[in-house]
């Protein structure tokens, strides 16, 4: 099991999302610290999406459509559905939200991101089927569109959720 480098590699930078219906696509978010990546995969339509959220809340931003969880989650879900996916039969997984940065008297951004994402998904009737949230190490994640595997690599390990 390795993170893939290939022509079908689509990268979600901070505040970005990538979506694909190509079974050869590998959707990647590099270097998640306190940021949180949400992977969505529809096993019937074989559609995958990966969004790289930075903060719990903030104004909508066209250049970084998923920078903020509160204004970006619906943008991501609508784009996922526009590719032919159905939310009700899809799986959702999340990783990141590490304790990397401290602000406002010690309130961890990673923890706030995880709490915000879980609440926002719950409001929409969506539950995460697997998570790798918290801790204090950065991660890189990859969603395999063909089979829905969600790979997480840190300095010390690589696991599949």
Active site residues: 35
User: For the chain, what's the residue count?
Assistant: 161
Q: What share of the chain is helix, strand, coil (3-state, %, to 5)?
A: 20, 35, 45
DSSP letter for 147, please: T
Please state the separation of Cα 23 from the chain's center in Å: 18
Alpha carbons 39 and 143: distance in angstroms, whole number: 7
Cα 161 to Cα 156: distance, rounded to the nearest angstrom: 16
């Amino acid at each position: 099991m390795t993170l893939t480098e290939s022509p079908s590699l689509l990268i979600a930078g901070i505040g970005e999302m990538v979506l694909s219906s190509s079974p050869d696509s590998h959707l990647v978010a590099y270097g998640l610290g306190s940021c949180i990546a949400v992977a969505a995969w529809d096993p019937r339509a074989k559609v995958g999406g990966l969004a790289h959220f930075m903060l719990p809340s903030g104004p909508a931003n066209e250049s970084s459509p998923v920078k903020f969880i509160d204004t970006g989650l619906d943008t991501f879900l609508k784009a996922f559905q526009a590719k032919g996916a159905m939310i009700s039969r899809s799986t959702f997984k999340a990783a990141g939200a590490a304790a990397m940065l401290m602000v406002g008297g010690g309130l961890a951004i990673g923890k706030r991101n995880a709490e915000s994402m879980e609440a926002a998904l719950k409001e929409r009737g969506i539950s995460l089927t697997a998570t790798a949230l918290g801790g204090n190490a950065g991660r890189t994640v990859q969603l395999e569109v063909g089979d829905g595997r969600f790979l997480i690599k840190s300095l010390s390990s690589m696991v599949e959720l």
